Homo-oligomer: A and B are copies of this chain.
Amino acid sequence: MDPESFLDLANQVTKLKMYPYFDLAHAALCCLAVKEDLSVGSQPFSRKHPLSLWASSMLVIFSGGILANLLLGEPVLAPLKANNQLLLSTVVWYLVFYSPFDVGFKFFKFLPVKIVCSALKEVYRAKKVHDGVTHAAKLFPNAYVIMIAVGAIKGNGAGFIKVGERLFRGVWTPTAMEFLVPNFSTKASMLAALVFVVDKKTDLISAPHALVYFGIVLFFVYFKLSSLLLGITDPFVPFENLFCAVFMGGLFDVIQETFYGKPKTEENGEVAKPKAE
């Protein structure tokens, strides 16, 4: 593949229209996730509480935009103004939860379909991270942390909204906070947001913008497919462990233990409850 046509391809990717195929794939995977979160309870729950289920599914589907708008002081409901996208999402939601003989669920769960949807969704994610960074950069031109945070939240809104989305279904799981154990999508979105910020704000990356964008898309799609097909869940783990061992107390703790012995607090290994309860 010659560089010219490669750059052409990259340019095309940056200008992809998201509606309807990418929106459809995103909505389908979000509804699958909600249904799997409900596990065996999804059948009775969907029959008894359709409004709650619809609201929580839409919350997941539009989570990136909703959270980003909340954090940037813009109308929280604004993502719902795209009537086409909302209608498409509702149709997908209906198919996944209410189609006869569960065909909708089984269709989207069918591995080849799921793989295509996942690939499309990762392209969508790259676009959302990029949009988030650009949006935050317009409001706060020098606030790098805000750009990365908004990019990561737009990229993996479903993770950050999980606690709230379950609350919409009457279930409260405070330990499911995304910050505690960020999953791969969150970390990848943070990294992608960082790359976009570096690309936008510094001269460190000399490649054209379209190539950077295309690289992020390829990175997202590649690792998603690896995770689905090969079971590689998180390629960041070794780097994290190294980073934690060097900077987050690992080394110092070893030195300290050499001098003073193991502290008692590590025996229980559990996070202690705060006093006021």
Contacts and interface: CB of A to CB of B under 8 A. Distances in A.
A247 B98 contact: yes
Contact of A170 (B43, B46, B174, B253): B174
A69 B73 contact: yes
- The majority secondary structure among interface residues of chain A is helix
A98 B249 contact: yes
A70 interface: yes
Contacts of A276: 173, 175-176
Interface string A62-101: 0000000111111111101101001000000000011111
A266 B44 contact: yes
A206 B69 CA distance: 38
Interface residues of A, number: 86
Interface string A131-148: 000001001101111100
B170 A172 contact: no
Given A83-B145, A175-B277, 18 more contacts: A40-B268, A43-B265, A44-B265, A44-B269, A44-B271, A45-B271, A50-B244, A52-B180, A69-B73, A72-B75, A75-B139, A78-B140, A101-B256, A167-B177, A169-B177, A170-B177, A173-B276, A176-B276
A252 interface: yes
